[in-house]
Amino acid sequence: MSKCPRKIAIIDYKSSNLFSVQNACDYGGLDATITSDKKCIKAADAAILPGVGAFADAMKKLKKLDLIEPIKAFIHSGKPFMGVCLGLQLLFTESEEFGLCKGLNMIQGQVRKFPLQSEDGKKIKVPQIGWNKITKTNDSDGSPLKNVVDGAFMYFVHSYYVEPADNTCILTKTNYEGIEYCSSVLYENIFATQFHPEKSAQNGVEIYQAWAETFVS
Region 75-114 residues binding other proteins, contact defined as CB under 8 A: none
Residue of the chain from 8, 24, 84, 148 that contacts other proteins (CB under 8 A): 24
Residue of the chain from 4, 65, 179, 201 that contacts other proteins (CB under 8 A): 201
Residues 141-170, buried b or exposed e (16+ Cβ, 10 A)? eebbbeebeeebbbbbebebbbbbeeeebb
**Known catalytic residue: 4?**
no
Using CB under 8 A, which of the segments 47-55, 67-75, 141-149, 187-195 binds other proteins? 47-55
Least CB distance from residue 181 to other proteins, whole Å?
A: 15
**Known catalytic residue: 94?**
no
User: Which string of x and - marks every residue 127-146 that binds other proteins (by CB under 8 A)?
Assistant: xxxxxx--------------
Catalytic residue among 85, 101, 169, 182: 85
Instruction: End-to-end CA distance of the chain: give it in Å, rounded.
Output: 29
Residue of the chain from 2, 6, 17, 66 that contacts other proteins (CB under 8 A): 17
Q: What does 94-163 look like in DSSP terms, one character per residue? A: EE-TTS-EE---SEEEEEEEPPSB-TTS-B--SSEEEEEE-EE-S--TTSTTTTSPTT-EEEEEESEEEE
Residue of the chain from 73, 116, 149, 165 that contacts other proteins (CB under 8 A): 116
Q: Which residue, among 214, 215, 201, has the nearest Cα to 23 in the 3D structure?
A: 201
Distance between CA 181 and CA 169 in Å, rounded? 13
Residues at the contact surface with other proteins, assessed by CB under 8 A: 15-17, 19-20, 23-24, 26-27, 52-54, 57, 116, 123-132, 153, 155, 157-159, 176-177, 198-202, 204-205
